[in-house]
A and B are shown apart, each in its own frame.
Chain A
Amino acid sequence: MLERLAVMLMKEFLELKRDRWAMFRLIVPLIVQMLVFGYAATFTVHHVATSVLDLDRSQASRSLISHFVATSRFDIVDYAQKQSEITHDIDTGRATIAIVIHAGFSRMLDKGAALQVIVDGTNSNTALIALGYLSQIVSGFSLEQSGASGIGISLQARPWFNEGLDDRWFFIPGVIGTLTLLQVVSLTAFAIVREREVGTLEQIMVSPIRPFEFILGKTVPFFLIGLGDILLVSAFGILWFHVSFMGNPWVMLAGASLFLLAALGIGLLLSTFSRTQQQAFSLNFFFVNPLFILSGFAFPIAAMPEFLRWFTYINPLRYFLIVLRAVFLKGVGFTVLWPELSALALLAFVALSLSVLRFRKSLD
């Protein structure tokens, strides 16, 4: 049995070696996507185009406006003269936010003045964040106006694990899991479907080799490639983007191994439902995107409707992301992460068993 496994492995690595572009295909897209994610994927909002209409023209209103000018969060692109100009700015996209200070603003200050804010809600996320900054500035301003006599609660927030609230620190551990999933699932599915297409699969199956020996021979190389991916992308995140790595590398390795087994199982399962590489491609597309969306990579699972939340429980990426973020940022170990690791182990077991069973049937 070991001989047959050894010759399968030898063949796989020989093919990989012959494939001149293999190294390029396996490494370059990962690095490029890592860079794109690292630089582009951010929730931070800067330089929001802002239009201001000051109908009060008082010292107080000018002081408020200067508060906006002083931060880099807002760029005042237009000092409007009338309401219609504001509407025009928002309609044309020249401004995302418009601030209207109505006449009488300064007179009403001590009784509670109203400030009108119009926001382009097309991108709800940006709008929400910009409004957040805006209300911070406004409350700072009103605290100032009320002077020492005023009662105010000042917030002394101290974020843990990611003190700078750097989005990159949140995204990069997630990118490691996501990219590895994409890579490993598609590699596995395509490699097996290709053997089916070329006819080598049938040829191997008439030999005394057992299906699980074939599957093992086929998946071990991808397991190693997957580990290499994780190592490479992690090193890149730590060294290039300076994401902290607080935890135990062994916890990470355990999580990565279980996750890779589950990913291999999914790839295998997809391959048993595909006769041609085209079919594998569309199946891959159909399955991998939801895995990504329902993982908590960017969209909080807690906010999903209940029936979708159930799907996240059978998504290995969900658990691996928790493990990755915990190991990278929190530095917690097995004592905290055992439920996620167990879930990954269970999913890996189920996916692999199902794929071996399906594989036998798909040979007919």
Chain B
Amino acid sequence: MTNEDIKNLILEIIKDIDDEADFESHDPDKALREQLELDSMDFLDIVMELRKRHKLQIPEEDYPHLATLNSCVRYLQPLLKDA
């Protein structure tokens, strides 16, 4: 997967959680949770979807790497490079 693919994957998952999510003014370096009104359960939905779609088991200590869109890409790139 390219960086762009990973970005789109995360946005697609968030869209599934909230199809009214507003990505218009989204800043990829700012926290997803605050910008898109995601709570802890929504965040776990992202983790679960990555598991379902790509068999990724993300350990809890790595959750902070999923804070922003860009940090998601940086963290997931090596894990999804062959996906």
**Is this pair of chains taken from one and the same complex?**
no
